[in-house]
Structure 1
Amino acid sequence: MKHLFLSILLFTSAISMAFTDPVGKISGSVIDQELNEPIPYATIIINDMEGNLVTGITSGDDGTFLIENVKAGDYVFKVQFIGYKTFSKEIQISRNSTNIEIGQIKLEPNIAMLDETVVIAERTTIEQRVDRKVINIGKDLMTTGSSASEIMVNIPSVNVDQDGNISLRGNSNVRILVDGKPTNMDPAQLLKQIPSTSIKSIELITNPSAKYNPEGMSGIINIVLHKNANQGFNGNLNTGVTFGENTRFNGTLDMNYRKGKFNIYTNLGTNVGPRENGGTLGLPEQNIEQVFSVANERTSYLYKVGVDFYLDKKNTMSFYTNQGRFSGGPDGFISVTDFDNPSMDLTQLLDINMDNRNSAYNFLYDHDFEKAGHDIQFELDYNDFEEEENTSIDFRDTELDFIPYKDFVLQNRQNFTGNIDYINPLSDVSKLEMGAEVRLLDTDNDYETTNPDFFDSDYQYNRDIYSFYTTFGQTFEKWSYQLGARLEKFNVDAIYNGNLVYEDDYFTLYPSGFISYTPGEKNSYQLSYSRRVDRPGFGQVNPIREVASPRLTVAGNPELRPQFTNSIELNYTRKLGKKGSLTSGVFYRRTQDEINQVFTTEENDPGSIFLTYDNFDSNDSYGAEFSANYKFTDWWSTNTGLELYGQTLKGVAGNEFIEIDNKAYTFRTNHNLKATEALTFSLFGFYRSKSQDLQLDIKPMYFMNLGARYSFLEDNKATLSLNFNDVFDTQEFRVEDGRPFEQTGRFKGETQTVYLGFSYRFGGGKNKALKRKSRDNDESGGGGVF
């Protein structure tokens, strides 16, 4: 009986193995046929015999590649890279041939393409990766406006308010990174300074793994700037002019020179010109109306210079610096009319001049081990931000005894980051990652005023974070998973006028998990979880009072505690062959110790409001997203999305605790119509439903943009673009039913504009340069009002 049982067991196992589909892997390396040098980041494509994409990857820094978990079958193997002829070969994965070694692939330069450099796609594409959504910016979005802030309106899941503040999935607690690195600038101001033509792609990371810093309730938005890194000397010139109530100019120049082991590159950008903002705010119960008109002057410069040094096939060193300069600020008036008591009327004149400098320096050392994918990186990053803000306030048309005054603010933030990251593919189906990081932030805010109701003050905010993370993942035939955890030690102290007003010191664990299921080539599912934190931003903890308007005073709360969020989301992607793809997802977030606004009335003036911040109990947020990237015909394609959000808001208004159940949705659709090979038209439509925050009920907003692009010269090296934004002049911010007392308002920016752009690419090249890991930061953009 024992032998019979063993025989049956062995026979059953043999039958099971015989009927189990084998899984194979494909490996090799890519080099330049003439130079005999590795080609990093070449595109490796595996198609079925009908031409449908099965899987793909890019070659590593040393030109090697390894594709695992390929099902049995016949495939077409392709290798592509700009400036080279495509390599193609038919391969077969079978039970007798599961390990396909392609060997060394020598790509032949394509003489007809040697003049091409970094080619910008005609239309924007959306790529759904395991941990993020990547929006590759095409010429259709690059020509919508002069700055990153104007491009953001077109990005799925992202909303921009009348002041340029960004929210992701209906939540403003989002981290903004540039090239994977934090900056010390206010996010709204940063986005207005980055020229639209400098942006290569925008990454939305809504549920980051433990590998990433845990800040940001709703996730991370990473803006990737162009980095030309091809062989030889080449570059891109992009420039544009915006015509509206004012004229604005933006332009960028990307250049690089690469030869042998050196690559030197630079990106220069500028954004110049004023922008008008105006509106009214009424208080029906007090019979008061406020009217304001402000021109925001802006002159900004952004440049990036870097060098990569390829020591050998296994070792690379890289250094770059980002430098930003800005000068300008709002200049205008706020007029208050009290219809019941004209003696309370006044007009406030304001003139704010800001000059800031933002400097970032980065060093990276990368070492590849013998095994493909086995890698270690060491990185240092230093960021220094300085800003001088001079404000002049004067009063006219009033019987009140207000006197003119001036405010002088000097702000300095220094942020140092050092980290080490290690990746080890333990086997064909498993991978281990681990790393450590230190982040040191020192902030000093010096305030001087001639206002007799306030006094000079100094506020220092210092924060140290030490962290360690590890993740482990495995991939099977249809399933894959990744588990991770990040341990952080956090220390902070706040000093106000020489006195310690707040300090905290604690350890926190941030777990994360991902599960993916791919039943076939066309369908994929992903379930993810992460724990995240939002630490108070500088403006939310800065106790120095700011007079935002004659009826509103703002100050931070230095005793604010961090808010912690548990986030879970489920995503589904359906590939439609060469036509495009459909994506959908649902998410839920529970936040503890939520940071929110507190609106109270002033004791000596019930018609005036004091705004600060405090911690409240839990907050629930949830939502669903649907998007389609589809090509109807050879001449008509679309990116269309619908986003539904809901959240519970808790705070104080009018000295009373309130709870708001906010529900809203956003619909946006972008269509590209190709008239000829050289001429393309575009149409963009946007609608955002009514919504609520603690202070106001916000009415719906909608608008439409039209655009055209024409490419010319040899190989379409030059492009002329024309865009008509807000065709029907409907893009405005309207509010009603305010708290702590009723308010009605209409705010209108300079939205109806015509943008004329020109781009030209020159030079020739092929190989791309070193990639870096995206970094996060913990400083919220919250605080303040305008």
Structure 2
Amino acid sequence: MKKLIILILLVCIHGYSYAQVAKITGKVVDSKSKSPLSYVTISCRDANNKIIDGTVTNEKGEFILKKKPKKKVFLNFQFIGYTTQTKEIELNSTNLNIGVIYLQEHLTNIDEIEIQAKTTTITQKIDRKIVNVGNDLTTAGTNAFEMLQNVPSVDINYLNNEITFRGSAGVLILIDGKPSNLSSSQLLKSIPSSTIKSVELISNPSAKYNPEGMSGIINIILKKNAIIGFNGSVTTGIEHSKNTRLNTNLNLNYKTGSFNFYTNYNKDWGDLETDYHLNRNDKNITQFLDHLDKYSDHNFKIGADINLNKKNTLSLYTSQYFSYSDFYTNGFIHENNALKLHTPNLSVYSYSESAYNIDYKLNLDDKGHSFEIELNYSINKNPENSTNKEILNPNSKLYNYNNNITDNRNTWLINLDYTKPLAKGKLELGVEARIHSTFNQILTDQEIAIATTVNTPKGNTRFSYDRNIYSGYLNYNKDFKKFSFQTGLRFEQFNVDGLFKNTQQTTLDNYSDDTFNIYPSAYLSYSPSEKNQFQASYSNRVNRPSIEQVTPIQEFTSPYIISFGNQKLTPQYTNSFEVNYTRSLTNGYLTFGLFYRKTSDKIGKNITLNQVDKNIQYISYQNYNNSDSYGLEGYASLKPTKWWTFSSSFSLYIQDKFGLLNNKQTSVKNTVFRANISNNFKISKKLKLQISGLYKSKSEGIQFTVSPFYTINAALKLSILKNKAAIKLRASDIFNTLNYTFSSTNPYSQNGHYILERNTLYLEFLYKFGTNKSKKRNRKERDKNETSGGLF
């Protein structure tokens, strides 16, 4: 009896051991550098090659398989650029640690691999959406500003160069995690879309990011070379519509095991025309403005990444941007069908920005324990010289005046970041200093009004605006079972001084502010299965007035529209909430999201009329009431067949807008629907076709209502010379429908439209040269430039 009981117990214990979930653990590293490989795909198969379980390695190269496997299994370790390895495992216990798996790199001919995704895809991370822009053919020959029109939830306005995210302005634009002194539109227009790897949409940025940007952050990630030896590419293209424009791009790279040197140069030049037409219905006044921009843009960057040893890395680069433009404006104002005013004007612009960056990183171990320091300095100069004429009829009186405008900006940025991995988590600490200095000056012989409605003989003025921001952050994240969470705090001391003088150094106005704020953020992610993920987040943001919103120096959009800033503007603060859901499908995936933003001290426009001439409008800014903004968005990517990939996105958002029209406070509840559709067809191995479309519903502002519009684009790509070269042909706005039509009833009845050169045909030739050997980096290395700390 005793032996029988013992036998039964042994059988039960044996059965219980196999009833438990057996854990297989281990670590995957590079065979040469011994550094951990993250995102290695691991599949667990039985003797019949049936998949039992699967996973990927974490940032430390570690993995855990938790499913109940058979007694004998085979583990496959797969990673791009490395030889696949298979390991046979005998399970003699509940848990088994198989130790370290060493993967060997292999060199692959670049013609045989696709470095970039074929189509745009979206990845939902705990604190951001990553849009991998892929080889979208309809963006060939465009710049980053135009490319953003294809990114879900992002809108661009060709009229005022404004970028909105989920219907709201105040978005912060970063390039590889770094800001620029250039305006957002200037910065994005200087970057060819072909150099962009991905776009990060960070609606609720974590504590390690600068809290500026009411609607969030758009971070443009540029491509980095992964090819051993000397390699490069050259691209040239021509675009034609009413006028002709050309572009050329050269990329050179030399990479060894511990050293990477790179340089690239891009040039765009040509003529771009815009026609503006405005009708005043109450007085039968018609205004025509023809703009012709003869421009030449140059963008140059040179840099190096140096692995001093396994623990120390040094990176440095400089980028130089120059833009020259002769901007012709030919204006006609008719009243009762008779010419009242003719304004043939010429403005000469010369923009430049020089940036210098050095970054040092110390890896304290191979598990992600690190210290990093970065120093960045940039200087921006935007001089403008304009010669203006006003020809008055019927007496043909000629009135000439000249404007000489100076706009100089300097920025110092210093970051120190510390990262410490903890048990299934990570702690991040950092400090940052941002020192901004801006100087504006206008020298003119025009009779203008200095932020008033009283004319003065001359408007020669100077405006200096200095902003210093000192901050520190604390961020902690942790994974447990099917949950992940992240929380953080950012502390900021903000100092600003503004001084407005005339050229005789007489102070006309001044402003200063000194505030301290704490900005919290929190994230929670839940993955009940490999196919489903839920995510929720919160952040507190600030949108400080831009230099354009505070400078008292006047800008003449037309003889009847005069703009100037308001130094007394205060920052607007936003509490932002959102939830997202992602579902993986057999042939694609779906993602949906809801968001809500509450903004206090909302900044809006203040539009008043000249007391002497009611035809003249003054546009400025001021703070208003609290504002709500909410909406939903979705994205789907499907592959119905091997030759057809379909993707679509939509967004519906509702927001409160406030403003002052002729001393009367006005509010608008703006509801906007937006949808993008893209179809990619693989006609043959060498030939691909893409057709895409965009629709945007009516949009209401404080003064104008913009009519709905849509646009259709198509493009072809033919690979030649054994895939070393390609020819692309793109037709944009095929039906010539991307024109802005608007109307208004306040302060008087008016309507009009902008006609843009968007109906274009573009032809491009691309050629790649070099050693054609690709050494794939691990995910950690590839993502290094996706911002690693308090780098804004």
- Normalising by structure 2, report the TM-score: 0.89
| Aligned equivalent of 1:30 | 30
Change in Cα spacing, 1:210 to 1:247, as seen in structure 2 (3 Å) is: same
1:687 aligns with 2:695: yes
What letter corresponds to residue 195 of structure 2 in structure 1?
A: S
Alignment of 1:260-299 (within 5 A): 260-299=257-296
- 1:604 corresponds, among 608, 612, 629, to 612
User: Any idea what the Cα deviations from partners look like across 1:565-607, whole Å, max 9, x if unmatched?
Assistant: 0000000000113x12101000000000111111111111112
Change in Cα spacing, 1:591 to 1:296, as seen in structure 2 (3 Å) is: same
Displacement, 1:180?
1.5
Q: Is the 8 A contact 1:572 1:583 kept in 2?
A: yes
Alignment of 1:268-347 (within 5 A): 268-339=265-336, 342=338, 345-347=340-342
Question: SS at 1:673's partner residue?
Answer: strand
Displacement, 1:620?
0.4
1:707 aligns with 2:715: yes
Q: Is the 8 A contact 2:211 2:542 kept in 1?
A: yes
Alignment partners' CA distance in 1, 2:467 and 2:93: 57
Stretch of structure 1 that moved more, 653-662 or 345-354: 345-354
Q: Is the 8 A contact 2:28 2:57 kept in 1?
A: no
| Aligned equivalent of 1:432 | 427
- 2:623 corresponds, among 610, 615, 620, to 615
Alignment partners' CA distance in 1, 2:543 and 2:317: 29
Change in Cα spacing, 1:516 to 1:502, as seen in structure 2 (3 Å) is: same
1:44 aligns with 2:53: no
| Aligned equivalent of 2:517 | 508
Alignment partners' CA distance in 1, 2:89 and 2:696: 50
User: Any idea what the Cα deviations from partners look like across 1:691-739, whole Å, max 9, x if unmatched?
Assistant: 101110110010101111111222x121111111111111110111343
Question: SS at 1:190's partner residue?
Answer: helix
| Aligned equivalent of 2:165 | 168
Change in Cα spacing, 1:40 to 1:762, as seen in structure 2 (3 Å) is: farther
| Aligned equivalent of 1:352 | 347
- 2:637 corresponds, among 603, 622, 629, to 629
Question: SS at 1:660's partner residue?
Answer: strand
Q: Is the 8 A contact 1:227 1:265 kept in 2?
A: no
What letter corresponds to residue 561 of structure 1 in structure 2?
A: T
| Aligned equivalent of 2:364 | 369
Alignment partners' CA distance in 1, 2:373 and 2:612: 57
| Aligned equivalent of 2:679 | 671
Structure 2 runs not aligned, ≥5 long? 1-14, 449-457
User: Any idea what the Cα deviations from partners look like across 1:440-463, whole Å, max 9, x if unmatched?
Assistant: 001111211121334111110101
What letter corresponds to residue 735 of structure 1 in structure 2?
A: F
| Aligned equivalent of 1:530 | 539
What letter corresponds to residue 765 of structure 2 in structure 1?
A: F
Alignment partners' CA distance in 2, 1:42 and 1:518: 19
Change in Cα spacing, 1:40 to 1:688, as seen in structure 2 (3 Å) is: farther
Structure 1 runs not aligned, ≥5 long? 1-14, 780-786
Stretch of structure 1 that moved more, 233-242 or 210-219: 233-242
Q: Is the 8 A contact 1:142 1:197 kept in 2?
A: no
Displacement, 1:66?
2.8
Alignment partners' CA distance in 2, 1:630 and 1:127: 14
1:386 aligns with 2:381: yes
Alignment partners' CA distance in 2, 1:144 and 1:581: 26
Change in Cα spacing, 1:538 to 1:69, as seen in structure 2 (3 Å) is: farther
Q: Is the 8 A contact 1:349 1:394 kept in 2?
A: yes
Displacement, 1:196?
2.3
Aligned length: 749
1:153 aligns with 2:157: no
Alignment of 1:527-566 (within 5 A): 527-566=536-575
Q: Is the 8 A contact 2:28 2:36 kept in 1?
A: no
Alignment partners' CA distance in 1, 2:644 and 2:52: 21
Stretch of structure 1 that moved more, 92-101 or 360-369: 92-101
Displacement, 1:409?
0.9
- Normalising by structure 1, report the TM-score: 0.90
| Aligned equivalent of 1:80 | 79
What letter corresponds to residue 567 of structure 2 in structure 1?
A: P
Change in Cα spacing, 1:605 to 1:70, as seen in structure 2 (3 Å) is: farther
Stretch of structure 1 that moved more, 401-410 or 216-225: 401-410
Stretch of structure 1 that moved more, 278-287 or 139-148: 139-148
1:207 aligns with 2:204: yes
Displacement, 1:147?
1.8
Stretch of structure 1 that moved more, 21-30 or 679-688: 21-30
User: Any idea what the Cα deviations from partners look like across 1:164-205, whole Å, max 9, x if unmatched?
Assistant: 321111112101111221111111122222222222222211
Change in Cα spacing, 1:38 to 1:136, as seen in structure 2 (3 Å) is: farther
- 2:578 corresponds, among 551, 569, 574, to 569
Change in Cα spacing, 1:292 to 1:19, as seen in structure 2 (3 Å) is: farther
1:580 aligns with 2:596: no
Displacement, 1:773?
5.2
1:481 aligns with 2:480: no
Q: Is the 8 A contact 2:415 2:791 kept in 1?
A: no
Displacement, 1:238?
2.3
Displacement, 1:47?
4.3
Q: Is the 8 A contact 2:144 2:189 kept in 1?
A: yes
Alignment partners' CA distance in 2, 1:297 and 1:57: 53
User: Any idea what the Cα deviations from partners look like across 1:490-515, whole Å, max 9, x if unmatched?
Assistant: 10100111546110001100000001
Question: SS at 1:351's partner residue?
Answer: strand
Alignment partners' CA distance in 2, 1:249 and 1:117: 30
1:466 aligns with 2:465: no
Alignment of 1:136-147 (within 5 A): 136-141=132-137, 143-147=139-143
Alignment partners' CA distance in 2, 1:24 and 1:217: 46
What letter corresponds to residue 29 of structure 2 in structure 1?
A: S
What letter corresponds to residue 772 of structure 1 in structure 2?
A: N
| Aligned equivalent of 2:706 | 698
Alignment partners' CA distance in 2, 1:587 and 1:468: 27
1:520 aligns with 2:529: yes
Alignment partners' CA distance in 1, 2:660 and 2:20: 62
Q: Rg larger in 1 or in 2?
A: 2
Stretch of structure 1 that moved more, 582-591 or 599-608: 599-608
- 1:236 corresponds, among 225, 230, 233, to 233
| Aligned equivalent of 1:11 | none
Change in Cα spacing, 1:750 to 1:474, as seen in structure 2 (3 Å) is: same
| Aligned equivalent of 1:744 | 751
What letter corresponds to residue 542 of structure 2 in structure 1?
A: V
Change in Cα spacing, 1:311 to 1:52, as seen in structure 2 (3 Å) is: farther
Alignment partners' CA distance in 1, 2:541 and 2:91: 42
Q: Is the 8 A contact 1:301 1:324 kept in 2?
A: yes
What letter corresponds to residue 737 of structure 1 in structure 2?
A: S
Q: Is the 8 A contact 1:588 1:623 kept in 2?
A: yes
Change in Cα spacing, 1:775 to 1:478, as seen in structure 2 (3 Å) is: closer
Stretch of structure 1 that moved more, 725-734 or 186-195: 186-195
| Aligned equivalent of 1:784 | none
Alignment partners' CA distance in 1, 2:617 and 2:89: 72
| Aligned equivalent of 1:256 | 253
Question: SS at 1:152's partner residue?
Answer: helix
Question: SS at 1:665's partner residue?
Answer: strand
Alignment of 1:765-780 (within 5 A): 765-768=774-777, 771-772=784-785, 774=787
Stretch of structure 1 that moved more, 503-512 or 286-295: 286-295
Alignment partners' CA distance in 1, 2:512 and 2:105: 59
Change in Cα spacing, 1:327 to 1:76, as seen in structure 2 (3 Å) is: farther
What letter corresponds to residue 639 of structure 1 in structure 2?
A: S
Displacement, 1:44?
1.3
What letter corresponds to residue 652 of structure 1 in structure 2?
A: L
Alignment partners' CA distance in 1, 2:776 and 2:230: 12
Alignment partners' CA distance in 1, 2:599 and 2:520: 15
Aligned residues with identical type, % of pairs: 36
What letter corresponds to residue 381 of structure 1 in structure 2?
A: N
Change in Cα spacing, 1:85 to 1:28, as seen in structure 2 (3 Å) is: closer
